Structure 1
Amino acid sequence: MFELRLLCGEGQVEAVCEALEALDALSVSVEDADAQTDAEQALFGEPGLPPPREGWQRSRVLALFSEQAAAEEAARLLQAQDFFSGGQVLGIGEVAEQDWVRLTQSQFAPVEITSEFWIVPTWHQPPAQATRVIRLDPGLAFGTGTHPTTRMCLRWIAHRSLQGCRVLDYGCGSGILAIGAALYGAPEVDAVDIDPAAVQATLDNASANGVELRAGLPDAAQGGYEVVLANILASPLKVLAPLLCGHLAAGGHLVLAGILERQAAELAEAFAPWLRLEVADREDGWILMTGQR
């Protein structure tokens, strides 16, 4: 495998990346050419939404090709394009063969929710102190326990008994919250998502963890629930306020995540017609908001 390294300006990034993909690059990535210097730029977008810009003022573009000749041909063709004017070819180098599966797995270690509750990839052994474990491998659906929003929701679940509670996980992703609720005693758990792949991932993960739940598209949520969990993002949560509160039984708990600290007031206002939301947990700039009907 061979890596083509390019330097280009912010306005060139999108066209260069599209050209590389058209030239059959196996992968294309973009990074700040001034990273770890005084000229480094912060470039972050809200999770799930596009970044504010396509690249940095000086962007390093890295493209992988299966053959050296393909990398060389891509470099030659790019240099002939007007949109690459001012850009530079930094070089082409061979990438050492690696066990990519093992390398990827090494990046995911067991995640502590509480001292007794852990999320553990299948290639790790659970810690000795773990009395409740969710076995979950990183996949296409959101929710592996590594993000603060997921951990806060699971901490909320872990600090109460759900015996006798009917639970709804709205926007279930991998199903991790629904599985957590089942492990903590909920006898009836419904998990719904707009993505059929997430529904299947939830069913697969529930089976792998030996728990029973129902999973389906959003219209599978029926009736009232003692606990409604929704770890999405602030904007869709505001839109979903009437629906989520409509599924909340009298005295039931609503648990919302995917919210940045600066968004607390607007979420509280959106849900005010139905219940009072309060900040129940904080981690790395994210908050967990809860309310009781």
Structure 2
Amino acid sequence: MFELQLMSPESQVETLCDALDALGALSVSVEDADAQTDAEQALFGEPGMPPPKEGWQRSRILALFESREAAQSALDLLLVQDFFADCQVLGIQHVPEQDWVRLTQSQFAPVEVTPDFWIVPTWHEPPTQARTVIRLDPGLAFGTGTHPTTRMCLRWIAANRHSAHLSRVLDYGCGSGILAIGAAKFGAADVDAIDIDLAAVESSVLNAQANHVVIKTGLPESVSGVYQTVLANILATPLKVLAPLLWSHVAQGGNLVLAGILARQADELIEAYAPYCVLQVTDTEDGWILMTAKNS
């Protein structure tokens, strides 16, 4: 494999990436050329907020080709394009062959939720102390257990394993289906996993099958009735918008469990849900909080 390395101003990044893709690049990635310097720019905004800019002022573009000849041919064609005038060639480098699957897998280890409850990728053996295990591999849908919000929700589920709260459960914005699967693992007989993204719905189905549990999946319009527990691990802004909808599905005596909220956003959520319930912070981790309310 050979990597063509280019420097591009912000205005030409998208055009250059599209051109490399059309010229047969196996992959194209973009990095901040000023990373780790005083000129570094943060492009990713806080959760629920738009990014401050669409691109870096100076970007390093890395395009992977099967051969040096293919990389050079693509470069020769780029050099004569008007849009390449402000771009710069950094070079063509050989990339050693690697077992990319094994390299990717090595980045994901078993995740502890509680001492006896673990999330374990399929290529790992569960820890000896694990009594309840969710088998889940990293995929396109959010929710691998590595994020604090996911772990807090799963801890809440584990803590309520012996209560009636898990008799009927709604996982709204299910992502990978991990919360729905966790509820089913702890005995919930009726679990609905809902998401606006069809890829997430499909991922939830496959992950439930891999964990030998039964959940029902679908889009938001398929939700009906009330639940003893309504889980929503999304972000603060959509949670505020969804307040009346989510609370309408909480049964008498049931619980609402919300995550995806930064600690500084607690008052915003309390205010948004005040017409319906009293939200409280019941767990915290790494600047994120879990908020719950009971329909008493």
Counterpart of 1:250 in structure 2 is: 252
Counterpart of 1:167 in structure 2 is: 169
Q: 165-174 or 20-29: which moved more?
A: 20-29
Whole-Å separation in 2 of the counterparts to 1:32 and 1:78: 21
Instruction: Tell me the amino acid that sits aligned with residue 197 of structure 1.
Output: A
Show the 5 A alignment for 1:1-293: 1-46=1-46, 51-164=51-164, 165-293=167-295
Deviations 1:164-202 (A, max 9, x none): 321110111111001111122222211112223322221
Instruction: Tell me the amino acid that sits aligned with residue 209 of structure 1.
Output: N
Instruction: Tell me the amino acid that sits aligned with residue 144 of structure 2.
Output: T
Whole-Å separation in 2 of the counterparts to 1:208 and 1:236: 30
Structure 1 residue 163, shift from structure 2 partner: 4.0
Q: 201-210 or 128-137: which moved more?
A: 201-210
Whole-Å separation in 1 of the counterparts to 2:193 and 2:98: 38
Change (3 A) 1:236 1:162: farther
Whole-Å separation in 1 of the counterparts to 2:268 and 2:287: 16
Structure 1 residue 32, shift from structure 2 partner: 1.8
Change (3 A) 1:288 1:78: farther
Change (3 A) 1:140 1:158: same
Structure 1 residue 246, shift from structure 2 partner: 0.6
Whole-Å separation in 1 of the counterparts to 2:204 and 2:128: 26
Deviations 1:39-96 (A, max 9, x none): 3333323458764323322221111122322221222233333333332110111211
Q: 256-265 or 60-69: which moved more?
A: 256-265
Whole-Å separation in 1 of the counterparts to 2:76 and 2:267: 53
Q: 172-181 or 252-261: which moved more?
A: 252-261
Whole-Å separation in 1 of the counterparts to 2:168 and 2:247: 15
**TM-score, normalisation: structure 1:** 0.92
Change (3 A) 1:80 1:267: farther
For structure 1, which runs of at least 5 residues remain unmatched after alignment? none
For structure 2, which runs of at least 5 residues remain unmatched after alignment? none
Paired residues of 1:2 and 1:67 also in contact (CA < 8 A): yes
Give me the CA root mean square deviation: 2.0
Paired residues of 1:163 and 1:184 also in contact (CA < 8 A): no
Whole-Å separation in 2 of the counterparts to 1:143 and 1:108: 13
Change (3 A) 1:265 1:64: same
Whole-Å separation in 2 of the counterparts to 1:118 and 1:82: 55
Whole-Å separation in 2 of the counterparts to 1:82 and 1:257: 49
Partner secondary structure for residue 237 of structure 1: helix
Percent identity reads: 71
Partner secondary structure for residue 251 of structure 2: strand
